[in-house]
Amino acid sequence: MRRTIIAANWKMNMLSKEVVDFFAEFGNTALNSEREVIIAPAYPYIKMSAELAAGKNITIAAQDVYPKAEGAFTGMVGGKMLADLGVKAVIIGHSERRRIFGEPNDLIREKVKFVQENGLHLIFCVGETLPERESGVMFDVLKEQIYSAFDDNLTLPPEKITIAYEPVWAIGTGVTATPEQAAEMHTFIRKILKGRYDYADSRILYGGSVKPENIQGLMANEDIDGALVGGASLKASSFMKLVNF
């Protein structure tokens, strides 16, 4: 049985006092949960978060990584640094990396390879824009994103490969895909993982304005294994409700 994941992506939010306060309020919730809890702080607060999360059933993730162990790459954070900070998982391919920072598929593929080589849990994001959905090409978009990253490029076991379906039109907008829309896309992704890669046991998360008010409807689908949460993960009280849905 696939274990549910509730993951927090804090993006460029939270200062040190807020991080301390969050873990002070939230820590026991994670400790007492049967679900896998993942938190991805901003780079400056990874070490602090790892120390505060120690022994509390919380995996610390990075929001991105540069696909080199170390070297002359100004402004980047590489694999050795993340390992030194206690990172166990990495988010790759988030729509904000693709859209705002212009990351192409070949760089994302390189990052996917690098994360696997370092034995980290890979959380790989896919999703379509509103124009792509309205024009009916959303399935083709997801195929391209998945095939370009994973074809001849999967080495981790299925339990360490997680897909996060995040419709770009729902991220930070307050608009959530209906349970039916989410179910359709998750079922489509599951068929690809099973048929093309024999990775049917990999978990698939939904992300896109997930809130305590809508998580029950989303999680009712058998192909949705959890959530990648943005804004609703910044308050411990809200994130506690999501973990305990």
Active site residues: 94, 166
H or E stretch at 1? none
> Angle at CA 10, nearest 5°, toward 213 and 52?
105
Beta bridge partners of 36: 5
Which sign does the torsion angle of CA 172, 178, 181, 185 carry? positive
Hey, what are 57's tokens? 């059933």
Find out whether 189 and 126 touch, Cβ atoms under 8 Å: yes
Cα distances from 55 to residues 27, 46, 123, 237, in angstroms, run 9, 16, 22, 20
